Amino acid sequence: AQSVTQPDIHITVSEGASLELRCNYSYGATPYLFWYVQSPGQGLQLLLKYFSGDTLVQGIKGFEAEFKRSQSSFNLRKPSVHWSDAAEYFCAVAPTSGGSYIPTFGRGTSLIVHP
């Protein structure tokens, strides 16, 4: 079974600063990987996903993530954070075999943006 770890419960950045949110996974092969964002009082919204190919994935809202097989990581990045990016971010990993493809979600990282 797969698992995912988001080591940082909270991250605080200043508006305009760069951002990197960490995600590490455990799976016997290369899994499917996702980042979701949850604004207060809302459901999760898909930011980006990785299935295969180019290890640098572009998503919505100016986010990108890089898959690093050697580190079992899929970190989310943004070059310049806006106050509206304050939210909870979830990494998810799904198996690539077995038929169900149901993702496992991390516990989330809360992003706080200071003006």
Partner 1 sequence: DAGVIQSPRHEVTEMGQEVTLRCKPISGHNSLFWYRQTMMRGLELLIYFNNNVPIDDSGMPEDRFSAKMPNASFSTLKIQPSEPRDSAVYFCASSLKGIHYGYTFGSGTRLTVV
Q: Which residues bind partner 1 (CB under 8 A)?
A: 32, 34, 36, 41-46, 49, 51, 90, 94, 100-103, 105-108
| Local structure of 71: helix, strand or coil | helix
Residue from 110, 113, 112, 114 nearest 8 by CA: 110
Q: Whose Cβ is closer to partner 1: residue 15's or residue 88's?
A: 88
Query: Which tokens belong to 7?
Result: 């080591």
In the DSSP assignment, the letter for residue 7 is -
Beta bridge partners of 29: none
Report d(CA 37, CA 111) in Å as an integer.
10
Q: Whose Cβ is closer to partner 1: residue 43's or residue 115's?
A: 43
**62 neighbors 72 (Cβ within 8 angstroms):** no
Tell me how far, at minimum, the Cβ of 16 lies from partner 1, in Å.
29
